[in-house]
Amino acid sequence: MTLDSIDRLILNHLQEGFPITPDPFLVVAQDLGLDEADLLARLERMKTERIITRFGPFFDAEAMGGAFCLCAMTVPQADFETVMTKVNARPEVAHNYERSHPLNMWFVLATETAAEIETVANSLERETGLRVLRFPKLQEFFIRFRVAA
């Protein structure tokens, strides 16, 4: 689908935030000089066309409870598929990427408690015979990431 200048205006504006008020679309429409119904129709279309991945509150997963840890392994090419199958079989593995580096397998563990991170990582080490390096976040920096539409 093609985006016109109004669609782009909406995307850029709504990346900055959305008000908590009874008629938030009306407020946004007035800010942008648009009609509320037009704004809603455009958002609906962009969501259907998957230009918009998600629209709503973004929650801090850790604040909601649970523990997360980025992990990495150096997996020999010959064993890659076998190790990948073992790693992916764990429900605690949320994402797993092959990356261009001697540390070539990077995944995120998501568990209820910090102790479980250690349990799962240790058990993956035993199962694969490979080290699982752990990179828990020490500090998170505020992000101003925006996609220019």
Site for another protein in 56-85 (CB under 8 A): 56-61, 63-66, 68, 70, 72, 74, 84
- Kindly give the interhelix angle for 36-48 and 24-32, rounded to the nearest 10 degrees: 100
Other C-beta atoms lying within 10 Å of the C-beta of residue 24: 12
DSSP 77: G
Q: Which of 79, 119, 123, 137 binds another protein (CB under 8 A)?
A: 137
Indicate the pairing of strand 133-135 with strand 105-111. unpaired
Q: Which of 5, 54, 78, 126 binds another protein (CB under 8 A)?
A: 54
CA–CA gap between residue 51 and residue 12 (Å, rounded): 12
Residue 54: burial class (beta carbons within 10 Å; 0-12, 13-18, 19+): exposed
Q: Please give the size of the binding site for another protein, defined by CB under 8 A.
A: 76
| Closer of 126 and 145 to another protein (Cβ) | 145
Per-residue binding string, another protein, 111-130, x by CB under 8 A, is -x------------------
Q: State which of positions 85-104 bind another protein (CB under 8 A).
A: 87-88, 93-103
CA–CA gap between residue 75 and residue 131 (Å, rounded): 9
Length of the chain: 149
| Closer of 6 and 26 to another protein (Cβ) | 26
Q: State which of positions 4-43 bind another protein (CB under 8 A).
A: 10-11, 14-18, 20-26, 36, 40, 43
Confirm or reject binding of residue 51 to another protein (CB under 8 A).
Answer: yes
